[in-house]
Structure 1
Amino acid sequence: MANAGSMSVDGGEMMRDAEYSLKTPRSDANIDRQLARTLIAVGLGVAAAGLAGRYAFQLWKPLGQVFSETVRKMPSSAFSSYYKGGFEQKMSKREASLVLGISPVSTKAKVRDAHRKIMVLNHPDKGGSPYLAAKINEAKDLLDKESRR
């Protein structure tokens, strides 16, 4: 009996759906018009995006030329955080400060701390170069003599 009752409920829903579809007629012509309007709106949106993109590219050309000219005028070392060039025959105060990565007028404590950090990374016992370790030590000695306190 429970099955019979559930069938009548389903049947009642089907009747309500049929009555609703009779009261609100939806013809194929209405659906076609609505679809056509949607497609036209999408097409206009795509065309607007294309025109905006074209306009943006036209504006970008002169800006790109100005940017590329500016980049060409700048020295290539401006883009690198590394010191270009080799070591001088006799180390200068500037070169020593570049090796340790500190200011040329740093205190002895800063020189010591910078030397310790760099030597940990470049020590020959840890796979570093003996030549670089010697240059780091030379930079520390030079700045230690000339630094204050």
Structure 2
Amino acid sequence: MASSVILAGLGLAAVGFGARFVIRTIPALGKKMADTVYNVPKLDSKIFASSKYYKGGFEPKMTKREAALILNVSPNASQQKVRAAYKRMMLTNHPDRGGSPFISSKLSEAKDLLDK
């Protein structure tokens, strides 16, 4: 009986010391993670010079070039090709199927601009 009380006390002490260690290391861990995230070196744009991906965000007012890049067609593509590309992309990115509403709105805007 006495040995079980001693073992229970030792177990509680171990849990207490473990909790104290965790509580003391969490702030330091958070700071170390923040330093790692915020001090990521900037990538050199020369690395991606030969990349086939467009390097930039959306422009304030969509241009014909940007619309063609979004739908992955040429700026002079026929209406049929534009609609086929739009349909293919919307099947993947539609909000009802788990896609982003923002991306689907950009796809629709691109199709409307290139359909004109």
- TM-score normalised to the size of structure 1? 0.46
Q: Which has the higher helix share?
A: 1
How many correspondences in the alignment? 73
Distance (whole Å) between structure 1 residues aligned to residue 46 and residue 86 of structure 2: 29
Deviation at 1:84, TM superposition (A): 1.2
Deviation at 1:83, TM superposition (A): 1.4
Deviation at 1:80, TM superposition (A): 2.5
Q: Which runs of 5+ in 1 are unaligned?
A: 1-73
1:136 aligns with 2:74: no
Distance (whole Å) between structure 1 residues aligned to residue 60 and residue 105 of structure 2: 13
Which residue in 2 is equivalent to 1:78? 49
Corresponding letter in the other structure for 1:102:
V
Q: Which runs of 5+ in 2 are unaligned?
A: 1-44
Q: Deviations over 1:3-35 (max 9, x none)?
A: xxxxxxxxxxxxxxxxxxxxxxxxxxxxxxxxx
Distance (whole Å) between structure 2 residues aligned to residue 79 and residue 123 of structure 1: 31
Which structure would you say has the larger RCO, counting Cα contacts within 8 Å and 6 or more residues apart?
2
Distance (whole Å) between structure 2 residues aligned to residue 140 and residue 93 of structure 1: 10
Distance (whole Å) between structure 1 residues aligned to residue 91 and residue 46 of structure 2: 32
- Structure index of larger Rg: 1
Aligned-residue sequence identity (percent) comes to 57
1:117 aligns with 2:88: yes
Q: Deviations over 1:32-91 (max 9, x none)?
A: xxxxxxxxxxxxxxxxxxxxxxxxxxxxxxxxxxxxxxxxxx833333332111100000
Which residue in 2 is equivalent to 1:92? 63
Deviation at 1:108, TM superposition (A): 0.3
Q: CA RMSD in A?
A: 1.8
